[in-house]
């Protein structure tokens, strides 16, 4: 029983570490230019790190509107160029959060059985 629980725990930890490493490798593939661009855009969009009071939001909104207007002038093919820069892949739209939640629940259940 103890060995089984140990094995299960080790598997969970290894799976979590592997996934985190894989996720980190995926995100590291992005170009620095795009990361800087998106983070700048995020800050304009009233991001949570800058809680937006309404007055402050108006200023940031104007800036963002300017940016958006600037973006619309760009050639539509720039999307492909941007994606090509970012490791030539479509955006990564999966997270490891559900898996981490599942592993967490599994750990709790395994802990409960190990205690009995």
How far is C-alpha 106 from the geometric centre of its chain's CA atoms? 23
- Binding status of residue 23 toward other proteins by CB under 8 A: yes
Residue selected from 11, 20, 27, 31 as contacting other proteins according to rule CB under 8 A: 27
Residue 87 in contact with residue 31, Cβ under 8 Å?
yes
Residue 96 in contact with residue 20, Cβ under 8 Å?
yes
Q: What angle do CA 98, 101, 39 make, to 5 degrees?
A: 60
Q: Which of residues 55-114 bind other proteins (CB under 8 A)?
A: 57-58, 61-62, 64-65, 67-68, 71-72, 74-84, 88-112, 114
Q: State the nearest-atom distance from the C-beta of 46 to other proteins, in Å.
A: 5
How far is the CA of 102 from the CAs of 19, 37, 69, 105, 109, in angstroms?
A: 13, 34, 43, 5, 11
Residue selected from 11, 17, 26, 31 as contacting other proteins according to rule CB under 8 A: 26
Q: State the nearest-atom distance from the C-beta of 29 to other proteins, in Å.
A: 11
Q: State the nearest-atom distance from the C-beta of 73 to other proteins, in Å.
A: 10
Residue selected from 12, 17, 21, 32 as contacting other proteins according to rule CB under 8 A: 12
């Amino acid at each position: 029983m103890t060995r089984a629980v140990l094995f299960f725990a080790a598997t969970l930890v290894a799976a979590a570490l592997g996934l985190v490493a894989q996720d980190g490798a995926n995100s590291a593939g992005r170009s620095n230019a795009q990361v800087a661009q998106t983070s700048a855009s995020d800050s304009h969009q009233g991001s949570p790190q800058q809680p937006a009071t309404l007055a402050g939001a108006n200023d940031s909104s104007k800036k963002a509107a300017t940016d958006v207007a600037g973006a619309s002038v760009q050639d539509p093919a720039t999307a492909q160029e941007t994606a090509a820069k970012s490791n030539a892949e479509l955006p990564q739209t999966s997270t490891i959060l559900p898996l981490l939640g599942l592993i967490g629940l599994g750990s709790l259940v395994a802990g409960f059985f190990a205690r009995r």
